[in-house]
A and B are shown apart, each in its own frame.
Chain A
Amino acid sequence: MTQVDRQSWDVVVVGAGGAGLRAAIEAREQGARTAVICKSLFGKAHTVMAEGGIAASMGNVNAGDNWQVHFRDTMRGGKFLNQWRMAELHAQEAPDRVWELETWGALFDRTPDGRISQRNFGGHEFPRLAHVGDRTGLELIRTLQQKIVSLQQEDEREFGDHEARLKVFQECTVTRVLKEEGGGRVSGVFGYERESGRFFVIEAPSVVLATGGIGKSFKVTSNSWEYTGDGHALALLAGASLVNMEFVQFHPTGMVWPPSVKGILVTESVRGDGGVLRNSEGKRFMFDYVPDVFKEKYAQSEEEGDRWYEDQANNRRPPELLPRDEVARAINSEVKAGRGSPHGGVFLDVSTRLPAEVIKRKLPSMHHQFKELADVDITAEPMEVGPTCHYVMGGVDVDPDTTAAVGVPGLFAAGEVAGGMHGSNRLGGNSLSDLLVFGRRAGLHAAEYATGYAGADRAAPAGSDIDLAEAEALRPFSAEGSPPGTEPGRPPENPYTLHQELQQTMNDLVGIIRREAEMRQALEKLAQLRDRAGRAGVEGHRQFNPGWHLAIDLRNMLLVSECVARAALERRESRGGHTRDDYPDMERRWRRVNLVCRLSGSPGDPAAGDPALGRIRLERRETRPIRADLLGLFEKDELAKYLTDEELT
């Protein structure tokens, strides 16, 4: 095997989105030498797509807001399946994380008295989202990026080297988390530079996964190409487990036309600022879809809903602002009932609700996006929107306080790749605050953990693992067609074709509405795809070769898709981001169940394993009882809708 480039750092952060960068800043400020590895250029992470805002109960617009209310909203949104300790920490720490951004140069929109302005969003009782127009994610990334640059400038002054204590390895992909000989502690990562195709090993006692989500396994998605579930798969392969993988959030409003942009997000702020949903008959259909658990919280008439925008104290909010899962399902039903728009969505109208000037000021990038991509002027005509795969609630099973992955010492996870925080459904705005709160915690604890292992105490990566990782990464170049021990003569597969088939399968069979038979079919199809992916071959050489990159990412998408399909098949109820046509109701007893995915068979060869049994082993685990003082924040009546009688007594 060729010699790979080796470096040694204290903490390696995989991913440079909000969580990764926040983790890196914290680890560096704790004194750890920190390396950040990202697939794209520095500052291009998927976080830039976040539009609406950062949820934090600062109470700038409505002084009644506090962390308890935020916690309550988060739990309601997640249908009480949330890892409650994470939800608690999140609600408590979010305001500090937002304020801290200002000291790094962030410029949020302001209230008249000069504080950070906060906007309404689905599922949030009070105006809570700190925002900058509709480009909050960009502001977040840029602020963290510039904070990193400022730390590097400090290092330059002190050591004469910008990268002495904090370095970003951009356009690099990590394909394996390495462990010490014998497979106990984490010892680093293996990856390749996308530009040159060269392999590298970074040795480090702490690895923070902050790779985001899995949306690229679905056809209609708001996610970018990076969202191939890398961190989920890396964790599985390193021996960690994933929880709640059946919960995938379909954002209710994605663009539906033109086809090339199908899935691109239309921010929820359109509804928060007054936009309404109508079907082809012109009816505001959301009034028909308010579920019983939310009946008292939402307006019953259009008049009341409209009054709410002006006077929120004395009116209830319009049902367009229900949690995302409810709205997505409602749109799905309207389209199925034949009341959809010409391109298979529904109408989202802000043009008749707000003056053109206000629309342009409040929703500049939406105005821009529709003008440029769909030739639609949203100040003059309605948008056509439909559900799009947006976020995975499931992820690495972590300790809520430290973000340490359960069962793998030295591995941490934060952001979308971590599971539990959002339960069965995430509220809008809670993702950016999640990144900051748990990104910081991950950086803090990863740095602490790394300092515990100095010099000789550090685990060295097992040499055989590095060889295996290299062979695995190079395999697509030597695709001969048939793998050893199978029938000969089958041609190599095109990775692009495999990817398209995977996306179609997940979209059609494990999508927004799920049925047992379809999910079984999906699992069969996934087994076939896994087999064919073993023969994925690529042309050209290793220098910036997207076909090769995709062939490598396919492994991750297939593993994660199987987790989603298996968990979704197992959970026989409907809850949040998991809707079963054959089990349409939410069952209280299922609230106590977490579904945990683990890798079965040898982690060395992900293509192996019995096709019928698959690569994933599923376990049921009982959720920890919610702490009494937190339960005390809710009315008994409300708890009775979610908790079993036994839990209530």
Chain B
Amino acid sequence: MSSYEAHFKVWRGDADGGGPADFTVEVNDGEVVLDIIHRIQATQAPDLAVRWNCKAGKCGSCSAEINGRPRLLCMTRMSVFDRTETITVTPLRAFPVVRDLVTDVSFNYAKAREIPAFVPPAKLAPGEYRMRQEDVNRSQEFRKCIECFLCQDTCHVVRDHEENKTAFAGPRFLMRVAELDMHPLDAAAEAGLDRKRTAQDEHGLGYCNITKCCTEVCPEHIKITDNALIPLKERAVDRKYDPLVWLGNKIRRREA
């Protein structure tokens, strides 16, 4: 086993300000960036704040930006870096900073509440649900989401434009709309809720310009853009931009 000393710049500070702090830390074979952050904590800066949980890429807690790229600290192996390079670790830059590498991700929880929940079919009792595997595959892909919020962080709609945060749900939650709209037993339509239409009218689907950064950063390799956002846009088109439907609506409105 070989070990070496690596140079790290870790952003330290809080809402009032801060900057990069330099560390020289030991690195051993097979380690990931989170191991190094932990070593810094244990040996040099015991109060260095970082969120983490499972350390296996399953919980999505340790999201941060490494050399400017949104990543999970626990899934970024040290072997991908050059031994001489200085590795910069900063908190997520789309959300308010709390302290050091910890950010306030409450934006995401607020957005989660804005998406109407699954509507169970009225006539089926528990245990009577029947769904084919081919019908649940699409939604299952989206349910792999570990809510690390890296897609929300990298999405320029909110990352670069704070003012869009009210109108735009972000890739994770537009994907949630897609998941429910593709759920074979979701009875939203029967309950008078048109998820396709609200995706655009209430959750800001139109802000997405499909530049695919959400897909690029997804640690679960979910094809967010191709399988959730674009299909959702196409479903909205079904509702709103089909010229025949549009014409029909116009005529009906005039009559009324």
Interface residues of A (CB under 8 A from B): 40-46, 48-49, 58, 95-96, 99-100, 102-105, 107, 109-110, 112-115, 132-133, 135, 138-139, 142, 146-147, 149-150, 152-153, 156, 162, 195, 224-226, 257-261, 264-265, 364-365, 368-369, 372-375, 494-497, 500, 538-541, 543-548
Contacts and interface: CB of A to CB of B under 8 A. Distances in A.
A545 B130 contact: no
Contacts of A543: 14, 49, 98-99
Contacts of A495: 46
Contact of B143 (A44, A132, A150): A132
A369 B117 contact: no
A593 B76 CA distance: 48
Interface string B115-129: 011101000101101
A115 B132 CA distance: 8
B116 A153 contact: yes
A259 B75 CA distance: 14
Interface in B44-97: 46-61, 75, 77
A259 B140 contact: no
A316 B183 CA distance: 38
Contacts of B221: 368
A142 B139 CA distance: 13
B133 A258 contact: no
B28 interface: yes
A544 B100 contact: yes
Nearest to B31: A260
Contacts of B60: 44
A372 B74 CA distance: 10
Contact of A149 (B31, B43, B117): B117
Given A138-B58, A548-B47, 11 more contacts: A42-B109, A48-B54, A104-B120, A107-B131, A110-B133, A261-B30, A364-B144, A496-B43, A544-B99, A546-B47, A547-B46
Interface string B177-208: 00010010010000000000000000000000
Contacts of A48: 54, 58-59, 146
B143 A494 contact: no
A373 B31 CA distance: 9
A152 to B, nearest CB: 6
17 contacts: A40-B51, A48-B146, A107-B140, A115-B130, A132-B140, A138-B143, A162-B113, A224-B59, A260-B35, A261-B30, A261-B32, A264-B55, A500-B42, A539-B46, A543-B14, A544-B98, A545-B49
B146 A110 contact: no
B249 interface: no
B136 interface: yes
Contacts of A110: 131-133, 136
B56 A96 contact: no
B105 interface: yes
A103 B120 contact: yes
A521 to B, nearest CB: 25
Contacts of A226: 53
A49 B58 contact: yes
B249 to A, nearest CB: 29
Contacts of A373: 32, 56-57, 75, 77
A497 B61 CA distance: 24
Contact of A105 (B50, B54, B183): B183
Contact of A103 (B53, B55, B75, B129): B129
Q: Which 8 A-B pairs have the closest CB atoms?
A: A258-B30, A540-B47, A105-B118, A150-B117, A547-B46, A114-B130, A99-B126, A544-B49
A335 to B, nearest CB: 19
Contacts of A132: 140, 143
Contact of B183 (A41, A107, A265, A372): A107
Contacts of B127: 58, 95-96, 99
B57 A369 contact: yes
A224 B53 contact: yes
B56 A264 contact: yes
A146 B117 contact: yes
A274 B35 CA distance: 33
Given A224-B53, A257-B30, A195 B126 contact: no
A135 B28 CA distance: 30
A96 B132 CA distance: 21
Contact of B57 (A42, A372, A497): A372
B29 interface: yes
A139 B29 CA distance: 33
Nearest to B72: A372
Nearest to A264: B56
Contacts of A103: 120, 124, 126, 129
A49 B132 CA distance: 26
Nearest to B99: A544
B102 interface: yes
Contacts of A257: 30
Contacts of A494: 42, 46
Interface residues of B, number: 62
A496 B46 contact: yes
Contact of B113 (A135, A149, A497): A149
Contacts of A104: 118, 120
A109 B29 CA distance: 38
Q: Which of B14, B104, B124, B146 counts the most A-chain CB atoms under 10 A from its CB? A: B146
Nearest to A139: B143
Contacts of B75: 372-373
Contacts of B129: 99, 102-103
B230 interface: no
Contacts of A156: 113
Interface string B17-31: 000000000001111
B123 to A, nearest CB: 12
A538 B47 contact: yes
Contacts of B42: 494, 496-497, 500
A302 B50 CA distance: 48
A17 B124 CA distance: 28
B209 interface: no
B210 interface: no
Nearest to A258: B30
A133 B35 CA distance: 28
B29 A259 contact: yes
A135 to B, nearest CB: 6
B61 A41 contact: yes
B223 to A, nearest CB: 14
B166 interface: no
A99 B120 CA distance: 12
A138 to B, nearest CB: 7
Nearest to A374: B30
A99 B60 CA distance: 27
Q: Which of B14, B29, B112, B126 counts the most A-chain CB atoms under 10 A from its CB? A: B126
B50 A546 contact: yes
Contacts of B126: 96, 99-100, 102-103
Q: Which of B41, B55, B56 counts the most A-chain CB atoms under 10 A from its CB? A: B56
Q: Which of A132, A264, A539, A544 counts the most B-chain CB atoms under 10 A from its CB? A: A544
A545 B46 CA distance: 8
Contacts of B55: 224, 261, 264
Contacts of B139: 107
A100 B136 CA distance: 17
Given A146-B117, A149-B113, A547-B41, A114 B131 contact: yes
B81 to A, nearest CB: 15
B216 interface: no
Contacts of B28: 259-260
A544 B144 CA distance: 29
A539 B47 contact: yes
B236 to A, nearest CB: 22
Given A105-B117, A113-B130, A258-B30, A544 B58 contact: no
Contacts of A100: 126
A374 B49 CA distance: 27
Contacts of A538: 46-47
